[in-house]
Structure 1
Amino acid sequence: MPVLTLKELHLSLDGNAGVVDILKGISLNIEAGESVGLTGASGSGKSSLLMVMGGLERATSGQVTVLDQDLTPLGEDALARFRRDHMGVVFQSFHLIPTMTALENVALPLELAGAEDAFSRAEAELAAVGLGARGDHYPSQMSGGEQQRVALARAVVGRPAILLADEPTGNLDAATGEMVMDLLFDLRDRHGATLILVTHAPELAARCDRVVQLRDGQVLSDELAVAAQ
């Protein structure tokens, strides 16, 4: 049974020149434990597709089913709860709360879920990304790579079934980006999550089990990655 199914997904948004068709009839199945790289040129729709998968953008038509839950009819509050309980999301921009320490940022989703052990679990995840000694530091006191590692810890602290990553190395230099990607795949393996990764870098996509290439809002190809063959 797929953990994520898209059926005839369309997304249209209002632009300055009128309605723009972003996604055009995409259908996909993603199995539990798979790592899938979404690739394509800028404007191909890959980030929009990831946002629809995570319920962060609502499709114009079609169906999104995640863990047997149809996301299509859910309201914003229900979608937020579903993400909190089942998904971790990592963005290119780190989206840390500047007035919170690293530890508080990582513990936040667990606190919102009412977990009594939020801070002990957050400490463990910070240690897992090599930042156990930086828990009391604020984002402004950390490098870009450190902030993204905090964001990774926050994304996996709830042990999500699905991990969504949108260009997670886009704001980092090559060496730091490689370290962050190593951590991302290590965390995926440790938690057994399904990973869906948006990237423009072929070498990162090749680390996935499968690569889905988009062009002009449609699936151009859907193949096993070279490393997985």
Structure 2
Amino acid sequence: MEEQSVTAPLIAAEALVFTAVAASGPVQVLRGVDLSVAAGEAVGIVGPSGSGKTSLLMLLAGLEKPTGGRLVVAGQDLGAMDEDRLARFRRDNIGIVFQAFHLVPTMTALENVAVPLEFAGRRDAFDRAAAALREVGLGHRLEHYPGQLSGGEQQRVALARAVVAEPRVILADEPTGNLDRATGAAVMDLLFGLRTRMGTTLLLITHDPLLAERCGRQVKIEDGRIVSDTAAIRMAAE
């Protein structure tokens, strides 16, 4: 009988623990999270404020290090990396879209999007950045500064920056939180469209149940633990 090949998950968290340091002392934010995400999957992460959703994304991005457990993303153990290796890991694998746009105000839209490619030593950084901005409908705004753009346009610049290097994983933390409903819907259409075209894995934090459902899989976090996962529910039903 032939053996079936098993593809390793792109993201694998095992008993993941994260303790933050607050003025009042250490606070355990994540309390033993187990999560497996396949390449190309879209996952909506939901739960009340303060439940640990953003901390989980910070760990996945290598912006924080686990206090305990194990976290492997794209075949790399993030807990075993130093800051330089984590920076290279982010550059090569991760695109991040935050609620706040985090654009450099003294750089044009084109320069903001080209930054990650310049760090990677890409000679075609500005050509690719221009193409990414055209893809999100901002080909006419290349030389504008963030202060000259609307909120929706700034978030589209941030989205172009997140996907310009064609990352394996996009992490989006309430990306429409600062936008009106119509503008937010347009930005999310762009995000899902880009994700489908590139086959990128997407983890999206949202309080909008319709956006979470659009991901196809929803993971709910409460008090630092995963309390429900529709992937597990589907497997049980099968």
Is the counterpart of residue 214 in structure 1 residue 214 in structure 2? Answer: no
Note the 1:65-214 alignment, pairs <5 A. Answer: 65-214=72-221
Which of the numbers 24, 42, 48 marks the counterpart of 2:55?
A: 48
Partners of 1:147 and 1:76 in 2: CA distance: 29
Partners of 1:153 and 1:191 in 2: CA distance: 13
Q: Deviations over 1:165-223 (max 9, x none)?
A: 01100111111111111011011011110001011111110100210000000001000
Partners of 1:43 and 1:116 in 2: CA distance: 42
Q: Percent identity?
A: 59
Give the gaps of 5 or more residues in structure 2: 1-7
Structure 2 match to 1:27: 34
- The number of residue pairs the alignment matches comes to 226
Between structure 1 and structure 2, the one with the greater Rg is 2
Runs of 4+ in 1 over 6 A off after TM superposition: none
Q: Which moved more, 1:10-19 or 1:120-129?
A: 10-19
- How far residue 18 of structure 1 moved from its aligned partner, in angstroms, is 2.0
Which of the numbers 5, 10, 17 marks the counterpart of 2:17?
A: 10
Partners of 1:13 and 1:162 in 2: CA distance: 24
Give the gaps of 5 or more residues in structure 1: none
- How far residue 126 of structure 1 moved from its aligned partner, in angstroms, is 0.3
TM-score by length of 1: 0.96
SS of residue paired to 1:188:
helix
Equivalent position amino acid for 1:35 in 2? A
Partners of 1:69 and 1:16 in 2: CA distance: 32
**RMSD (Å) for aligned C-alpha atoms:** 1.3
Partners of 1:187 and 1:4 in 2: CA distance: 20
Q: Which moved more, 1:197-206 or 1:11-20?
A: 11-20
TM-score by length of 2: 0.93
SS of residue paired to 1:89:
strand
